[in-house]
Amino acid sequence: MSQESLLQEIAVCVERGKVNEQSPYPPDLKGQPGADELTRKVLDMGASADQVLSEGLVPGMKIVGIKFRENKIFVPEVLMAAKAMTAGMNHLRPYFQSGEVQRKGTFIIGTVMGDLHDIGKNLLGMIVEGAGWEVIDLGIDVPAVKFLAALEEHPGAFIGLSCLLTTTMLNMERIVQDVRDSRPDAKILIGGAPVTDEFKTKIGANWYSPDPQGAVDFLNKQVS
Amino acid sequence: MISPRENLLHACRREGFEWVPLDFLLCDAQIENFKNRTGHTDYFKWFDMDFRWVTLQEHPGYTHGQELYTREELPRDTEFDLLGVGHSKGSAAAYHMTRMHHPLKGDISPEEILNYPLPHFTEAENQELFKEVQSLNQQGLATMCPMQMTIWESSWYLRSMEDLLTDIMFGDEKATLLLDRVTQYAIDRVRLYTRAGVDILSLGDDLGAQKAPLMSVDMWLNWIQPRLKKVIVAAREINPDILVFYHSCGFVTPFIEHLIETGIDILNPVQPESMDFNEIYSQFGDRLSFWGTLGTQQLLPFGTPAEIREVIEDRLKTCGTRGGLVLGPTHLVEPEVPFENLEVIKEIARSLYPKY
């Protein structure tokens, strides 16, 4: 199989959530190699890490993000795709560390202070990481000071704020203000069940997306 | 004049009603607001609710919750619920909400699921439940039992959502074992509640995100629906007339037809930010009743009394004189909702009917 075909196969494995040969999911690919084996194989054949990322893993995850936005797949399928993506990415870690391959940028995410929900934030992290970004996940119940500290550590990073409750939307507003007070140029994306585009404008965030792929589109546009 | 119980049950069966049934569930901060503003202590009574919750006495299956967690070091303030799910405190801004810890999360064997100590109870030690139901009925009140998080949610609370979904996607026997054990636990409780004479079973599992289902309908039909059906059948074998209320937050439109076929009578909370009530009513209103419908994401925290009135008028007009509607907030009322907006729900509902 050519390198090109293998890279396409890797994209299919990510899209379908095929982690490795042992994985019984999806049933129709049982016994076949997954993102894990195929990534190793194509690297061994001489493909660059950058090629694996940009022509294999990222295109696969982009289809996942789009299908999720269009309600063609749901949380379980995204979870399996993220596992396949991670299996492939594990082979690329040394190349990231050596600087041979670069991520598009850094995205710092967290569920805002007062909110302990993490499913939406985790899905966002999976899909943005799958788009070739480094994701720094600060977890849940995160105050402004932690976002600022992470921004200090990763200059130029974008910030993603998540919340599930109307109660904590108000904290989101405070966090945006606090971050802006110290870093007026910070690029802040917001999302979560009760959040709207109107609310984004009101609180002075830069972008709102009702789905993770919208965040990817925004982030990619900033670095293109 | 009919009793509150008759009013509620008639409304839920779409057989007419004399006043609009109401339902409120307040968080601790709102209960304090209520007490301070009204001088009363019982908000169910103050809001004229036609029913009361009754709860059976159960014992946790564990002695020390900490023992359930061999793979995770828990924060020191962790408390454990009846299932053994750990809850540690968040920041002060998180109010009553807690961070969840899952005792069966991680690399576990099927035996660990089979041996997991679920709560236990006996009918003999629950004679008070029977008496309480009888006493409330004598007072003219209906009774409802809390059995939400019936199958899917209790299972993922134990195993973690990621691990349970992975088990399901892999077709791993651990998913079957856990879902079956949680289902049997639900069946045991349902049988006792039904024998005690409860009017409405409150079942539910959150199946919806804001604008999309959490899982595909196929996955739900394969893994959850057959087990939900068993729970409902177990209740109806004892009381064929028991009403089944089903809660799921978010967008659940693709599940509704299947929920009706599974035996659901009442859908809650019909979140207006996720689904258009009038559309849902036009599709299903002849076969399903609705409970909630007043949004806690937009309408109640940010709406004016005039806007709340407009929505209530619209709801009552849509449902007409047959009923099929219990009005109330779509979620536990969180601290940001002005208490005035809760008061006006009652005022408006009482002033409008029987106009609509």
pLDDT tier at B352, thresholds 50, 70, 90: confident
Q: Is the pLDDT of residue A173 over 90?
A: yes
Instruction: Say which amino acid occupies A184.
Output: P
How much is the mean pLDDT over chain A? Answer: 96
Tokens of B316: 């009552």
What is the rounded distance in angstroms from the CA atom of residue B328 to the CA atom of residue B343?
11
Candidates B94, B161, B168; nearest CB to A141: B94
So what's the pLDDT on residue A211?
A: 94
Question: CB under 8 Å to B194, separation ≥6 — which residues?
Answer: B201, B234, B235, B238, B239, B242
A with B: how many residue pairs have Cβ under 8 Å apart? Answer: 89
B105, B133, B166 — which closes off a domain? B105
So what's the pLDDT on residue A224?
A: 85
pLDDT tens per residue across span B296-341: 999 999 999 999 999 999 999 999 999 999 999 999 998 889 999 9
pLDDT tier at A170, thresholds 50, 70, 90: confident
Average pLDDT over residues A72-81: 97
Q: Which residues does residue B146 pair with via DSSP β-bridges, in sequence order?
A: B202
Q: Are residues B140 and B214 in the same domain?
A: yes
Do residues B266 and B291 touch, judged by C-beta distance below 8 A?
A: yes
Do residues A68 and A62 touch, judged by C-beta distance below 8 A?
A: no
In a domain, B110, yes or no: no
Q: Are residues B268 and B344 in the same domain?
A: yes
- pTM greater than 0.90: yes
pLDDT tier at B239, thresholds 50, 70, 90: very high
**Cβ separation A75–B215 shorter than 8 A:** yes
Q: Is the pLDDT of residue B71 over 80?
A: yes
Give domain limits for chain A.
3-98, 106-223
Candidates A27, A115, A193; nearest CB to B210: A193
DSSP-assigned letters across all residues of B110-126 = HHHHHT----B--SGGG
Name residue, tokens 């004399």.
B18
In a domain, B116, yes or no: no
pLDDT tens per residue across span A145-154: 999 999 999 9
pLDDT tier at B7, thresholds 50, 70, 90: very high
Length of chain B: 356
pLDDT tier at B97, thresholds 50, 70, 90: confident
Residues in chain A with CB shorter than 8 Å from the CB of B96 are none
Q: Are residues B93 and B150 in the same domain?
A: no
3-state helix, strand, coil in chain A (%, to 5): 55, 10, 35
B105, B135, B169 — which closes off a domain? B105
In sequence order, which ranges of B145-286 are alpha helices (DSSP H)? 152-159, 161-170, 173-196, 217-223, 225-238, 253-262, 277-284
Candidates B169, B301, B336; nearest CB to A80: B169
So what's the pLDDT on residue B96?
A: 82
Tokens of B43: 């908000």
Average pLDDT over residues B215-244: 98
pLDDT tier at B356, thresholds 50, 70, 90: low
Element of type H or E holding B325: strand B325-329
Residues in chain A with CB shorter than 8 Å from the CB of B162 are 79
pLDDT tens per residue across span B20-59: 999 999 999 999 999 999 999 999 999 999 999 999 999 9
How much is the mean pLDDT over chain B? Answer: 96
Average pLDDT over residues B190-215: 97
Q: Identify residues of A whose CB sits under 8 angstroms from chain B CBs.
A: 17, 23-25, 27, 71, 73-77, 79-80, 83, 113-116, 119-120, 140-141, 143, 165-168, 170-171, 193-194, 210
Q: Is the pLDDT of residue A30 over 80?
A: yes
pLDDT tier at B95, thresholds 50, 70, 90: confident
Residue B138's Cβ-count burial label (10 Å; 0-12, 13-18, 19+) is exposed
What is the rounded distance in angstroms from the CA atom of residue B315 to the CA atom of residue B333?
20
Cis peptide before B146 (omega within 30 of 0): no
Number of domains in chain B: 2
Element of type H or E holding B204: strand B200-204
Query: CB neighbours (10 Å) of residue A223?
Result: 12
Could you tell me the residue range of the domain that residue B133 belongs to?
4-58+121-352
Q: Are residues B307 and B261 in the same domain?
A: yes
Q: Is the pLDDT of residue A116 over 90?
A: yes
What is the rounded distance in angstroms from the CA atom of residue A113 to the CA atom of residue A170?
10
Query: CB neighbours (10 Å) of residue A29?
Result: 17
pLDDT tens per residue across span B112-127: 999 999 999 999 999 9
Question: CB under 8 Å to A50, separation ≥6 — which residues?
Answer: A95, A100, A101
**Cβ separation A71–B168 shorter than 8 A:** no
Tokens of B303: 């709406």
Cis peptide before B103 (omega within 30 of 0): no
- Is it true that domain A106-223 has CATH number 3.40.50.280? yes
In a domain, B283, yes or no: yes
Distance, in angstroms, between B353 CA and closest chain A CA?
31
Do residues B250 and B209 touch, judged by C-beta distance below 8 A?
A: yes
Q: Are residues B77 and B217 in the same domain?
A: no
In a domain, B79, yes or no: yes
Instruction: Say which amino acid occupies A109.
Output: I
Question: Which CATH number goes with the domain that contains B227?
Answer: 3.20.20.210
B74, B105, B136 — which closes off a domain? B105
Q: Are residues B33 and B88 in the same domain?
A: no
Please tell me the CATH superfamily of domain A3-98, with its number.
Answer: Methionine synthase domain (1.10.1240.10)
So what's the pLDDT on residue B353?
A: 74
Q: Are residues B141 and B43 in the same domain?
A: yes
What is the rounded distance in angstroms from the CA atom of residue A113 to the CA atom of residue A162?
10
Name residue, tokens 């899982």.
B215
Q: Are residues B46 and B66 in the same domain?
A: no
Average pLDDT over residues B80-106: 95
Distance, in angstroms, between A114 CA and closest chain B CA?
4
So what's the pLDDT on residue B26?
A: 96
Do residues A61 and A87 touch, judged by C-beta distance below 8 A?
A: no
So what's the pLDDT on residue B159?
A: 98
pLDDT tier at B1, thresholds 50, 70, 90: confident
What is the rounded distance in angstroms from the CA atom of residue B285 to the CA atom of residue B298?
24
What is the rounded distance in angstroms from the CA atom of residue B337 to the CA atom of residue A84?
43
**Cβ separation B214–A141 shorter than 8 A:** no
Q: Are residues B51 and B132 in the same domain?
A: yes
Please state, for a pLDDT cut of 90, what percent of chain B lies above it.
96
So what's the pLDDT on residue B355?
A: 59
